[in-house]
């Protein structure tokens, strides 16, 4: 059974690029347009194996979203990769404090993302 990855980004074109790369690698993908949308989708999922989230989004930013996920009993152990244009150390520290396990700065290349996913997703 394929592992499920949740992609959270307000850019539909970026979600598509990430989705294609992950699906080609054999993962099931669920998309959300911001943190609030992602929390609603998480409530419908039995298990998510990994989350890839942007930081800057409307309605609920990525840092707040990760904080909320970590309060959710069913999904709190899902590793989170932040995929964002933010590269400041302070922002990365906020992400780590919220529970993010990896930080990838856009623009990115799909092999870089897949490498991080393979290191974080449990077999």
CB 88 within 8 A of CB 40: no
Beta strands across the sheet bearing 28-32: 28-32, 4-8, 50-53, 80-84, 102-105
Distance CA 40, CA 21 (A): 24
Which class is 4-120 in CATH?
alpha beta
Could you state, in order of their start, the residue ranges of all structural domains in the chain?
4-120
Span 21-45, mean pLDDT? 96
- Is the predicted pLDDT of residue 1 greater than 80, yes or no? no
Q: What is the pLDDT of residues 38-74, one digit of tens each?
A: 999 999 998 999 999 999 999 999 999 999 999 988 8
């Amino acid at each position: 059974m394929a592992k499920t990855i949740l992609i959270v980004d307000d850019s539909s074109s970026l979600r598509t690029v990430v989705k294609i790369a992950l699906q080609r690698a054999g993962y099931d993908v669920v998309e959300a347009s911001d943190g609030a949308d992602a929390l609603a989708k998480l409530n419908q999922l039995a298990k998510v194996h990994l989350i890839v989230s942007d930081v800057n989004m409307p309605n609920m930013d990525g840092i707040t979203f990760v904080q909320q996920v970590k309060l959710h009993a069913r999904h709190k152990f899902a590793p989170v990769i932040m995929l964002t244009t933010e590269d400041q150390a302070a922002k990365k520290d906020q992400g780590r404090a919220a529970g993010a396990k990896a930080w990838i700065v856009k623009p990115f290349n799909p092999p870089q993302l897949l490498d991080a996913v393979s290191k974080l997703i449990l077999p």
